[in-house]
Chains A and B, each alone.
Chain A
Amino acid sequence: TQLLEQSPQFLSIQEGENLTVYCNSSSVFSSLQWYRQEPGEGPVLLVTVVTGGEVKKLKRLTFQFGDARKDSSLHITAAQPGDTGLYLCAGARGNYGQNFVFGPGTRLSVLP
């Protein structure tokens, strides 16, 4: 059972465009994380959001956690080719130990 859905599955845009990707679930998570994974490498953590309604900014990336802690969005302003990669969201199940469920990912391609 896939607890986290991500949309769109694929996204190809031109350099300089803005984009938003979504992570949705019917479950409530204690926290939610966003990762970027590049080919041949493991995922790298971008941000962790904990509080419902929380907004975090990381340079051109803006992350938002839904009020009910069931969904999240990632907005990229003025995308660059270096933003290309697989964007994964992961929800923490429970508060004991590292037990995460990952979404299927959004594969982003930014063309120069």
Chain B
Amino acid sequence: KAGVTQTPRYLIKTRGQQVTLSCSPISGHRSVSWYQQTPGQGLQFLFEYFSETQRNKGNFPGRFSGRQFSNSRSEMNVSTLELGDSALYLCASTLVPAGGTDTQYFGPGTRLTVL
């Protein structure tokens, strides 16, 4: 069974631009979560989508948004990029989004660099 795939793996943008990252969950998984990982702040929860609806949201500004499609694939968008948005963006998929004991399977991440 294929794992979680994220595209692109690496991305370089300049301040003020916008970016869209893509995540394809494991087949059959319906919940997709997004995280931002930086050396200073560690892994921080952005949001979770289930059945095309955002179910949970972390403490990030409105420049960070996402969506999920009917096939469970998810995209996240960051508008008006800032230098501090440079990070590894991780996507995780879950089979049964019923609670905190479910196993999250992480993708390899997208490394975003903002110049």
Contact = CB atoms under 8 A, between A and B. Distances in A.
A99 B107 contact: no
A30 B108 CA distance: 27
Nearest to A50: B101
Nearest to A6: B42
B106 A100 contact: no
Taking residues whose C-beta sits less than 8 angstroms from the other chain, chain A's interface range is: 20 to 34
Contacts of A101: 45
A41 to B, nearest CB: 5
Contacts of B103: 45, 48
Contact of B101 (A2, A40, A92, A99): A92
A94 interface: yes
Interface stretch (A13-21, A56-64, A102-110): A102-110
Contacts of B45: 99-102
B33 interface: yes
Interface stretch (B61-69, B79-87, B89-97): B89-97
A97 interface: yes
A49 B50 CA distance: 24
Interface string A28-61: 0111010000001111110010100000000000
A31 to B, nearest CB: 4
A97 B56 contact: yes
B99 A96 contact: yes
Nearest to B9: A40
Contacts of A95: 99-100
A98 B101 contact: no
Contacts of A88: 42-43
Given A42-B109, A102-B43, A29 B92 contact: no
12 contacts: A30-B101, A31-B100, A41-B108, A42-B90, A42-B106, A45-B105, A88-B42, A96-B55, A97-B97, A99-B45, A99-B56, A102-B42
